Amino acid sequence: MKFDTAIIGGGLSGLVAGIRLVRQNQKCVIISSGQSALHFFSGSFDLLNFLPDGSAAVKNPTKEIRNLIQQAPEHPYSKIGAEKFIDLAKKSEDFLTDINIKFQGSAKINHFRITPLGFFKPTWLTLSDFVVSENENKPSWNSVSIFNIEGFLDFQPEFVAESFNKMGIRTEIHDINLPELNRIRRNPSEFRSVNLTVVLDKPEIQNTLAQIFKEKSKNSEVIIFPACLGFESNEILPKLSEKIGKPVYLLPTLPPSLVGIRTQKHLQDYFKKSGGELMLGDNVMSGEFEDSRLTRIYTQNHGDIPIVADNFILAGGSFFSQGLIADIDHVYEPIFNLDVEFSPEREKWYNPNFFETQNYQKFGVKTDGDFKALKRNQPVENLYVSGAILSGFNPIKEGCGGGVSLLSALSVSEKILNIEETK
């Protein structure tokens, strides 16, 4: 099997790179073993929420990028460079719009998403279904009705209401019950967002919901509902809002993330529709190198039939997706044994205080300035690395996980396509 580019890992980064490449007529395959971080997606992509030294919350990522580069020269954004960072952030926004992923936000100003516990967190792009606030102290409305489904435990509106009340927002909570949900209600482990949406997305239920929402939210400007609507399409929520005559927004629930799964499926479908080949449930096991190039890779399902490509992208994610593995005293990359940045002293890997900075978050595959993987300190000329598996950044402390995945995916795709850079 021969391709222009073979991508290992079909999470956010691998899929974005794949779509970018097939849209330029590349023959492209993505091999992906399992679920990705998108299954736990909050609904918002973070670009840069805090500088690495923790000194300040970032308001405008495009303004702070030069400070980040000074503080963290090994950060993936530093490898991209300040001007190119601004360019790729904009291109990421355009890319999502082009492939019909609707969002709110811009790299020029962080807005605030609202967490399932009612905290306001800075972020870059939030899917259009979700409730956001332009400032940290209060959203633009003064009254809200929060609806929950009776017996649904993955959403606790009381926490959110407490937070809104402190801001002076008049908040009502309503529990709703629909006989159509009784069948899945019998088994608590089935009473989860993904199963609920299968029922709630039905057109006849949409009409019932619209009636209930309208009747009970007379005193509220907006309606909030747990993220259990709109699995098949992002048109369901705007249509419901139209029926009621006021905005209905979603709030994230505990995982699994319905919108994350929807986003992943959308990206997969788009990739396939554009001519890409997707090998799901297969695991890349090894590769063969000649001089400084990777020539072929082998997967679990295809045994000794190699996948040959001109270029490869490793987008296998971090520890969470087993793109990186930690054993008792070292951290390694399991497919090619690439060079990995990690501390040899195990006690430095993590801080026992869960809320402190965790050093292991910065561990990852070492690359040169073009995101070419390093093996025994030498770049592999045609093996690029993108997304969470990269070294040099802390997605939690800096709030930059989604941004690194998107920007590095577009960056390596442009390098493969030989597009002139403005670094």
Ligand X SMILES: Cc1cc2nc3c(=O)[nH]c(=O)nc-3n(C[C@H](O)[C@H](O)[C@H](O)COP(=O)(O)OP(=O)(O)OC[C@H]3O[C@@H](n4cnc5c(N)ncnc54)[C@H](O)[C@@H]3O)c2cc1C
11 versus 276: smaller Cβ distance to ligand X: 11
9 versus 81: smaller Cβ distance to ligand X: 9
Calpha distance 148→387 (Å, rounded): 35
Segment 258-297, which members bind ligand X (CB under 6 A)? 283-284
Closest distance to ligand X from the beta carbon of 47 (Å) = 8
Sole binder of ligand X in the list 5, 6, 29, 32 (CB under 6 A):
32
14 versus 226: smaller Cβ distance to ligand X: 14
Whether 152 and 229 have beta carbons less than 8 Å apart is answered as no
Calpha distance 161→91 (Å, rounded): 37
Dihedral sign computed on CA atoms, order 395, 396, 402, 407:
negative
Cα three-residue angle 5-36-367, rounded to 5 degrees: 50
Q: Residues touching ligand X: how many (CB under 6 A)? A: 36
Closest distance to ligand X from the beta carbon of 350 (Å) = 15
Closest distance to ligand X from the beta carbon of 118 (Å) = 17
Q: Tell me if 298 contacts ligand X by CB under 6 A.
A: no
Q: For 16, phi and psi rounded to 5 degrees? A: -65, -45
209 versus 338: smaller Cβ distance to ligand X: 338
Q: For 79, phi and psi rounded to 5 degrees? A: -70, -35
Nearest Cα residue to 107 out of 88, 128, 121: 88
* Cis, peptide link before residue 188, omega less than 30° from 0: no
Q: Tell me if 307 contacts ligand X by CB under 6 A.
A: no
Nearest Cα residue to 367 out of 78, 83, 90, 88: 78
179 versus 355: smaller Cβ distance to ligand X: 355
Nearest Cα residue to 206 out of 186, 175, 231: 231
SS3 content of the chain, % helix, strand, coil (to 5): 35, 25, 40
223 versus 297: smaller Cβ distance to ligand X: 297
Closest distance to ligand X from the beta carbon of 64 (Å) = 17
Sole binder of ligand X in the list 5, 7, 11, 164 (CB under 6 A):
11
Q: Which residues pair with 57 in a beta bridge?
A: 50
Contacts of 150 (CB under 8 A, 6+ apart): 175, 176, 177
Closest distance to ligand X from the beta carbon of 405 (Å) = 4
Joined together, the tokens standing for residue 193 give 């967002």
Closest distance to ligand X from the beta carbon of 273 (Å) = 20
35-64 footprint of ligand X as x/- string (CB under 6 A): -xxx-xxx-xxx------------------
Closest distance to ligand X from the beta carbon of 1 (Å) = 15
Joined together, the tokens standing for residue 219 give 């005193």
Segment 92-131, which members bind ligand X (CB under 6 A)? none
Q: Tell me if 323 contacts ligand X by CB under 6 A.
A: yes
7 versus 236: smaller Cβ distance to ligand X: 7
Q: Tell me if 379 contacts ligand X by CB under 6 A.
A: no
Joined together, the tokens standing for residue 291 give 């001089």
Sole binder of ligand X in the list 220, 321, 361, 391 (CB under 6 A):
321
Calpha distance 197→262 (Å, rounded): 11
Binding span for ligand X by CB under 6 A among 69-77, 288-296, 321-329, 366-374: 321-329
Binding span for ligand X by CB under 6 A among 101-109, 168-176, 359-367, 387-395: 387-395
Binding span for ligand X by CB under 6 A among 11-19, 61-69, 133-141, 182-190: 11-19
Q: Tell me if 411 contacts ligand X by CB under 6 A.
A: no
What distance separates the 2 farthest-apart alpha carbons in the chain? 71
Calpha distance 230→201 (Å, rounded): 6
Sole binder of ligand X in the list 122, 316, 364, 392 (CB under 6 A):
316
Nearest Cα residue to 228 out of 215, 240, 242: 240
Q: Residues interacting with ligand X, by CB under 6 A?
A: 8-14, 31-34, 36-38, 40-42, 44-46, 283-284, 315-317, 320-323, 335, 387-388, 395, 401-402, 405
